[in-house]
A and B are shown apart, each in its own frame.
Chain A
Amino acid sequence: MEGVQRPGRLRAYARFLGLAFAVNVKSVLEYRVNFLVQFFGMMLNNAAFAAFWAVIIGRAGAVGGYGFTDVMFVWGLVSTSFGLAHVLAGNVRMLGKIVMEGGLDVYLLQPKDVMVNLLASRTVVSAWGDFVYGFIVLALLPGTDLARLALFCALALPGALIFAATFAAAESLAFFMGNAQAIASALSEFMLSFSLYPEGVFGKGYRWIMYSLVPSAFVAFVPLRIYRAMDWRFVPLLWAIALVYAALSYALFQAGLKRYESGNRVDTRI
């Protein structure tokens, strides 16, 4: 019986996520100028750092074992993963604020899983620019072909899951600490910043943290090694790691949810 219910449940969730995404897209396209400004603005933001790296590597040759192509690949992959996480789970960095302000009540009354429902109910407009930027960078890198594009996508998906899981876990601290905005934004900032710079520049003493608590290694450093070697064998392992982070994040959210107290706030979702 369980086996029969499960595919149906998965289908229902897939349909729900598809509908939530479609509603979010309609909502952002309602303000087209704002969408285009943020879309291109974010790409410009990322491109500014490409200019920085071009100058530094032009002067120094390589930094921390990365050449310009490596840096651009990492920026592209991290942009796409980070963008995808915020396009599909736009509430991921609002989660703590929603919990703190008692805004979870509206999701508790609905039949879908609270965490999935909450995360998927918003999209971040500028993240669309991040998402596309990665593909533009990839197209401009030398030697890009369909096989490399496929590998890039296979690496970006677990990256997005790890970003979403880590940010959600950091934000879920609000269940336990009340106002956890400072620590959550610090963890998110660390995660993103460590991902965007060459692994080699961080001493070995710091690196353990990037393979555990702030898993920048699995969204940037390890994917770069896989991409350089064009070695698909480690991709399933990366997916497994992403699922572990997602499961841990989900468990933390569920543990926190038991401590949640309603704010008796009246909200509507239109």
Chain B
Amino acid sequence: MTKLGARLCCYGVAASTAIRDRTAYAGNFSASMLTYGLFVFIFSRVWSGAYESQSTIAGYTRSMVVWYFIIAEITSFGFGRYFWNLARDVKSGQVAYLLARPYDFVGYHYAERVGGSFVDAAIILAEGLAIGLLLAGPLPAAVEGGSLMAGFGRAGLLALSLVLAGSLNFYLQFALALTAFWLEENDALYWIFQKFALIVGTLIPIEFLPEQAARAALWTPFPYLSYAPARIFVAFSWAEAGSLLARQAIWVVLAMLLARFVFALGSRRVALNGG
């Protein structure tokens, strides 16, 4: 087996182990499912209140905006919380044991954590679709008509966009978590990141923001965490989906380079004293 093949095999095993672990303890995810369902219900009511006197806001109907929220929250609930475990490993010194193992630290963690998240994201997606049909009605029509091709295209590109959003979320949270090599308390950095992610594209589509803020937001990674998959789902067109996916991919590469850079610098600060 080539070196690359062995490496991919190692990551594959890590991902499949994480997936089997999540499947075996699927009940542990019930609290997240309940919270997600509650948020979707409440926001569907809030949007009903907001749309009482108008049928569209910033180009979105009520049904579109409820579906938007359902998809946008998948990144938070399905691919959401990598920071805490990673930061805890650094703060507790556990990272020293992990560094000694014969695999690429960043790649292995990506495979293990994002792989495991596929189960969470699939459960949340299924729950979201069921609740959405009840609260918002049929799926929003694609901008380019309702052909079978557009339907499959939308589903496929949505899945791809969610994976890219999960990857971007992982690498950004990884880079933030590893600042614990320098800062004893780095929770505040994560909170700031989380709030920006929430406002810029998760709770509301960026078209709702004031024009200048929306334009500025497009130059940050935040819209590509939630806005991109949600926009592809509620207003699908091949051209816009392609553009969003390309930008997502660029941000994933940039975030991965950042994560590797922070790791390379931070891991030099680990002092091993036996034991």
- Chain A residues near B (Cβ < 8 Å): 33-34, 37-38, 40-41, 44-45, 47-48, 51-52, 55-56, 59-61, 63-64, 181-182, 185-186, 189-190, 193-194, 197-198, 200-203
Contact = CB atoms under 8 A, between A and B. Distances in A.
B198 to A, nearest CB: 6
Interface residues on B, range: 20 to 34
B55 to A, nearest CB: 12
B42 A60 contact: no
Given A56-B50, A63-B46, A200-B49, A41 B187 contact: yes
Interface of B: 30-31, 34-35, 38-39, 42, 45-46, 48-54, 57-58, 184-185, 187-188, 191-192, 195, 198-199, 203-204, 208-210
A43 to B, nearest CB: 10
SS class of chain B's interface: helix, strand, loop or mixed? helix
Given A41-B191, A48-B199, A59-B57, A193 B46 contact: no
B54 A60 contact: yes
Given A37-B185, A182-B34, A201-B48, A44 B204 contact: no
Contacts of A48: 195, 198-199
B199 A197 contact: no
SS class of chain A's interface: helix, strand, loop or mixed? helix
B184 A33 contact: yes
Given A198-B46, A200-B49, A201-B46, 17 more contacts: A37-B185, A41-B188, A44-B191, A44-B195, A52-B203, A60-B51, A60-B53, A60-B57, A63-B50, A64-B46, A181-B31, A182-B30, A185-B31, A186-B38, A189-B35, A197-B42, A201-B42
B49 A55 contact: no
A261 to B, nearest CB: 25
Contact of A33 (B49, B51, B185): B185
B187 A197 contact: no
Contacts of B48: 201
Given A60-B57, A193-B42, A52 B50 contact: no
A95 B83 CA distance: 27
Contacts of B53: 60-61
B45 A197 contact: yes
26 contacts: A33-B185, A34-B185, A37-B187, A38-B187, A41-B191, A51-B199, A52-B199, A52-B203, A55-B209, A59-B50, A59-B58, A60-B49, A60-B51, A60-B57, A63-B49, A63-B50, A64-B49, A182-B34, A186-B38, A190-B38, A193-B42, A194-B42, A197-B42, A198-B46, A200-B49, A201-B42
